[in-house]
């Protein structure tokens, strides 16, 4: 029954490994870029606030597929930006990470901003009363508390990101969805193949959700 599962021909674990790598690299990238964006959105400099708001609103309303496809067709094939990748494989992977990061950062920014909203006003007032500057208020008082309260929303973002890595198949990154497309076109056992890939994604997302749900309860600021 499982004859079709020729692991020599279909590198199932390799594909899910690429999916996991895409998710991890994009998660790190979008956390950094999303935090910077959130900082801009609450900063005292009006121009930065405008930029942050515009970025989030534009990116949130653009399909991820458009962004990912643009990195390949637009950035790479038209403008020749290869992100230092030496082979097609490497370039496409990096472009996919770039696209996923640019997209996910908007959602990280929104999650962080709602986290900043949960920090009581008194905290920032007290920090300012001590004479801390804006960056100090943000870095030492507000963001540490905000991060702790947004672990659950960020876990949602991470799970969505894991699912969204499948879009990288659109530019030929050899991850799970692309392998599934190839297998499902060549083999007859549609239900089994679908089941295997569904299980793979459930195995990737379920532990993330449970673990981060547990962490968010542990670190939540008790008020």
Partner 1 sequence: MSNLSVLYDAPGPKAKARNILYTVLFLVVFVAVLWWALAAMADKGQLDANKWSPFVTDSRVWTTFLLPALGNTLKAAALSIVIALPLGAILGIGRLSDHRWVRIPCGAVVEFFRAIPVLLLMLFASALYVQFTDISSELRPLYAVVTGLVLYNASVIAEVVRSGILSLPRGQTDAAQAIGMRKGQAMTHVLLPQSVTAMLPALVSQLVVVVKDTALGGVMLNFEELLRSVRTISANYGANTIAAFTVVALIFIVLNFLLTSAATWLERRIRRGKRTTGAVVTIDPTDAMEADQLGRPAIKTKQPSTPDEQGRLDG
Touching partner 1, residues 9-48 (CB under 8 A): 42, 44-48
Crossing angle between the packed helical segments 176-186 and 12-41, to the nearest 10 degrees: 140
**144 part of the interface to partner 1, by CB under 8 A:** no
Question: Contact region for partner 1 (CB under 8 A) — 10-18, 84-92, 94-102, 123-131?
Answer: 123-131
Return the range that interacts with partner 1 (CB under 8 A); candidates 1-9, 10-18, 85-93, 200-208.
200-208
Q: Does 206 bind partner 1 (CB under 8 A)?
A: yes
* 211 binding partner 1? (CB under 8 A): no
Nearer to partner 1, 32 or 160 (CB): 160
Q: Which stretch binds partner 1 (CB under 8 A): 10-18, 21-29, 54-62, 94-102?
A: 54-62
160: contact with partner 1 by CB under 8 A: yes
Q: Which of 9, 13, 90, 117 lies at the binding interface for partner 1 (CB under 8 A)? A: 117
Question: Which among 34, 55, 51, 142 has a CA at the least distance from the CA of 134?
Answer: 142
Q: In the bound complex, what is the minimum distance in angstroms from residue 87's beta carbon to partner 1? A: 22
Task: Note whether 126 binds partner 1 by CB under 8 A.
Answer: no
Closer Cβ to partner 1, 9 or 139, answer by number? 139
List binders of partner 1 among 77-116 (CB under 8 A): 77-81, 104, 107, 110-111, 113-114, 116
Instruction: Please identify, among the stretches 5-13, 21-29, 50-58, 88-96, the one whose residues bind partner 1 according to the rule CB under 8 A.
Output: 50-58
74 is a site residue for partner 1 (CB under 8 A): yes
The encoded tokens of residue 55 equal 């970025």
Contact flag: residue 154 with partner 1 (CB under 8 A): yes
DSSP the chain: --TT--TTTS-HHHHHHHHHHHHHHHHHHHHHHHHHHHHHHTSS-HHHHHHHHHHHHHHHTS-HHHHHHIIIIIIIIIT---TT-SSHHHHHHHHHHHHHHHHHHHHHHHHHHHHHHHS-HHHHHHHHHTT--HHHIIIIIIHHHHHHHTHHHHHHHHHHHHHHGGGGGGGT--SHHHHHHHHHHH-S-HHHHHHHHHHHHHHHHHHHHHHHHHHHHHHPPP-
């Amino acid at each position: 029954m499982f004859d079709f599962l020729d692991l020599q021909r279909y590198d199932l674990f390799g594909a899910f490994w690429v999916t996991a790598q895409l998710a991890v690299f994009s998660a790190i990238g979008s956390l950094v870029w999303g935090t910077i964006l959130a900082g801009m959105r609450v900063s005292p400099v009006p121009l930065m606030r405008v930029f942050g708001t515009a970025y989030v609103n534009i990116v949130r309303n653009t399909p991820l597929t458009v962004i990912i496809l643009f990195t390949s067709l637009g950035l790479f094939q038209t403008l020749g930006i290869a992100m230092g990748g030496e082979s097609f494989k490497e370039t496409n992977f990096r472009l996919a990470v770039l696209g996923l990061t640019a997209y996910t950062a908007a959602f990280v920014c929104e999650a962080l901003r709602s986290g900043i909203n949960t920090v009581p006003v008194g905290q920032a007032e007290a920090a300012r009363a001590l004479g801390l500057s804006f960056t100090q208020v943000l870095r030492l008082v507000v963001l540490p508390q905000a991060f702790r309260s947004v672990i659950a929303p960020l876990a949602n973002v991470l799970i969505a990101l894991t699912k969204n890595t499948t879009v990288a198949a659109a530019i030929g990154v050899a991850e799970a969805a692309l392998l599934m497309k190839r297998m499902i076109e060549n083999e007859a056992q549609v239900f089994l193949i679908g089941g295997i890939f569904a299980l793979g994604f459930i195995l990737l997302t379920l532990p993330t959700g449970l673990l981060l749900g547990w962490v968010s309860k542990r670190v939540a600021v008790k008020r």
